[in-house]
Structure 1
């Protein structure tokens, strides 16, 4: 009982520490401070110093530096600040020494956020394995570490979600074309890299975006003060740690403040790029089953393009059909090998990972449903091997003793989690036993899981032989939860990103107007 009381008091103190910051500064000054901190993390020190005192030690933003700024902490802090706007902060007191231009005040904001996270963890979390907690942390941080503005990520999201019917649905639902939305977002982001607040409406004739379209786009990406209470109730009212609650900024990365209706604050500009790319999924694809199915088909095509563009001299083949017990059966999605000798059998799963599943706060039903989807992917691979052994498939491909299975996922289901990988494989064994008795133990080839962003890095930084070897190494249970690209770098050092990769060239072709925007930005410097 005493420990529970102490934990409760610690949580109250940590929350009041954030309350005090909110009382000690206007919202616009806090937004500018966070923007300047973001520029420090990008090592844009001269830009940051216009609004924030940056000590010499903070010029070291290496991963080992204790002065390093972590943008995921800034995002959590901002969400806590926004959730308190207009709220009754009770007995919290104003800190007269708080000055958003001083580094010590930024440090207080970050430390207060960490204190809140630690207090909430003690108050809310059940005993859990260390690796399970590391998985939650990895899901929170990895996206920032790999870069929200990663060009491959933007290209991939647009390829997957911006197909013809989705574009039409986007324009019908939101009143502006997807192309205009993305142009407007990139234009704002470019400006926000040099200024904490930007004009909501500007001259974008060179991008063929009208003023009327800009107003619609601005409304879609910005939070108005009058909207904060409702958005907080919808997104952040669950009794979950602040670090793992849905982020207001992921839906609306720009913030409006009272008295400046024509200006947008973009405190963490890179979130805007995610909103206009990956965010498209939640605008139109997620609510529509037919579009979700089409997205899955496009995901298979995207993975095929990744392999075939880089390894075209080898055999990269898509799925076929065959007859089994008078029914048409599909093979796995992709086959990769040297001529007819198979090195990898690939099954693609575009199942999105719910926020609750990422952070271990979902219901058992959600976990079981998603586990079943990944287990089915494994079983599909094993079933193909069994049917090849039984001479039921009339193709010239051959499975060898070194052939492996690869389950390629849109989200990273197994990062830092050997338990989750083991659960998927155990469920696949159960499905095989109950529904596919023709599968024997020799058909159950080794399986590795590889998220698409990991696969992109692997393919771009490897040759065919090292790529296959890295995937094979990743089937070893001791490497469960590892990124395959990291395993590749560890075992085959010296392979760097190949900037001439066909996928990278296609990114430039997909956004031809970006060159106009870059030229415009360069001319204004």
Structure 2
């Protein structure tokens, strides 16, 4: 007779968490700052490529090397959380007590295990109070971007296209005294330098070979690095209060490089975050310039990018841009996907980024974010256009046409709650403010991130793309990734397309030209 296994009580889980926190905090106060930072680098290096971690670790065994490759061991998202916990612990007794040995793999495994014990216990506490589906969203936000990777030519080109338009470059240079290209060149050189060794000095970077003056290299490092003391202060005053140990604010998202002894040693605990900082992280630089005109221009750049990649990878469909209608009183959706002369998909693009605090928040708090209103307004814009087309003869709108809300950031990944809130707010606004919108105009809306769209475009035909969009609009697929809707078609084309913008990358990201040569020079 089978017996039902009972889940641990909240009391037991809390006790497990508190015990692990006590032990971990004690060990972290005994860790030398530079050694611990290099230990995180080495653990990450073991996970990525095995042997490089041996540069810091003391003769790891074959068993340890094999164990580090297992799923769930030395995952970058766990290492990032562990490092931020290290920065935030009380360090008053740091120099007065015996140190733990950070250059042993077993030390890294022990500390990581304590971090995971805390996270697992808090998972149990949260899941005892809320449905597991609510947690999937922030699990996705924490892990999916790591699985996509940051040394990704598509992401680099997209970010360079959207964030480095002429006005942005001018404003950035005026504020910081260097170009965005110089920032990215130095960041990429630092990333390359940290592939084989945990620490570097500024003069070990080949900035002159990259066409960057030393003064600019210094300014660039100032933007993407932080002294260990300042990093500690920042970690102890996070930008939001986390309700779970796995979803804390990260110093490394803004400053992926930590320096010691007034710059004598620079260490990137997780080098991939340098690539994040000089690609997607450029959004932060634009926002901090404080110019709404630049944010609006970024939105237009996003629309242009989406049109470009869809035109290029869907040659058998027509992709058309926005126009005004209703005697110039309204703007149409940003893009239209047409089969022949018929509109099959109307697309509204939104470049609103999701704050990291919102990505990691309880999903019930995400729906309170101001950005949700902006996204819901995008849905209303689609329905308003559908309404106008219904009321005017000669419409080129196909009877089966649907809308797509195309997002720069994956707001709705694995979250029916967030997706539902966007559509609920859109319906409420349509019913209260848009008298001419009726139920027939509220056509299905597919909500997709641009990353998901890119994945589908690289493997679809025009016909399978339209079928995937129709699939994603059906009740059984609501909330699915567009890629999943495509993969679940009765017949999935077997296509492997070459990345279409490879020849353009150097134009928008001159520091990436060619990557292999720059890597070899920078290492």
TM-score by length of 2: 0.89
8 Å Cα contact 2:505-2:512 kept in structure 1: no
Partner of 1:241: 244
Aligned length: 510
**Selected match of 2:228 from 220, 225, 228:** 225
Partner of 1:477: 475
Gaps of 5+ in 2: 1-8
8 Å Cα contact 1:11-1:123 kept in structure 2: no
Partner of 1:278: 280
> How far apart are the structure 1 equivalents of 2:365 and 2:484?
31
How far off its partner does 1:374 sit? 2.0
8 Å Cα contact 2:343-2:397 kept in structure 1: yes
1:366-385 map, 5 Å:
367=368, 369-385=370-386
1:415-454 map, 5 Å:
415-454=413-452
1:41-56 map, 5 Å:
41-42=47-48, 44-52=49-57, 53-56=60-63
> How far apart are the structure 1 equivalents of 2:467 and 2:353?
28
Encode CA deviations 1:408-436: one digit per residue, 9 max, x unaligned: 01111211112222222222222222222
Partner of 1:165: 167
SS of the equivalent of 2:513 reads helix
1:284 and 1:87, CA in 2 relative to 1: closer, same or farther beyond 3 A?
Answer: farther
Partner of 2:356: 355
Partner of 2:513: 515
- Select between 308-317 and 509-518 the one with higher mean Cα deviation: 509-518
1:168-247 map, 5 Å:
168-201=170-203, 202-235=205-238, 238=241, 240-247=243-250
> How far apart are the structure 2 equivalents of 1:423 and 1:294?
27
SS of the equivalent of 1:428 reads helix
> How far apart are the structure 2 equivalents of 1:75 and 1:244?
10
> How far apart are the structure 2 equivalents of 1:365 and 1:26?
37
8 Å Cα contact 1:222-1:255 kept in structure 2: yes
Gaps of 5+ in 1: none
> How far apart are the structure 2 equivalents of 1:237 and 1:300?
31
8 Å Cα contact 1:414-1:480 kept in structure 2: no
8 Å Cα contact 1:57-1:67 kept in structure 2: no
SS of the equivalent of 2:159 reads helix
TM-score by length of 1: 0.88
Encode CA deviations 1:104-132: one digit per residue, 9 max, x unaligned: 22211211111222344567788222111
Relative contact order, higher structure (CA 8 A, sep 6+): 2
8 Å Cα contact 1:342-1:397 kept in structure 2: no
> How far apart are the structure 2 equivalents of 1:497 and 1:13?
51
Whether 1:27 aligns to 2:33 is yes
1:504 and 1:524, CA in 2 relative to 1: closer, same or farther beyond 3 A?
Answer: closer
> How far apart are the structure 1 equivalents of 2:391 and 2:395?
13
1:461 and 1:41, CA in 2 relative to 1: closer, same or farther beyond 3 A?
Answer: farther
How far off its partner does 1:493 sit? 4.9
What's the Cα RMSD here?
2.9
- Select between 228-237 and 382-391 the one with higher mean Cα deviation: 228-237
8 Å Cα contact 2:30-2:94 kept in structure 1: no
> How far apart are the structure 2 equivalents of 1:69 and 1:477?
39
Partner of 2:497: 498
1:4-153 map, 5 Å:
9-42=15-48, 44-52=49-57, 53-56=60-63, 58-59=65-66, 65-66=70-71, 68-84=73-89, 86-87=91-92, 99-121=101-123, 127-153=129-155
How far off its partner does 1:252 sit? 0.7
Encode CA deviations 1:460-509: one digit per residue, 9 max, x unaligned: 1211111111121111233333221233234355645422x423442244
Partner of 2:335: 334
SS of the equivalent of 2:501 reads helix
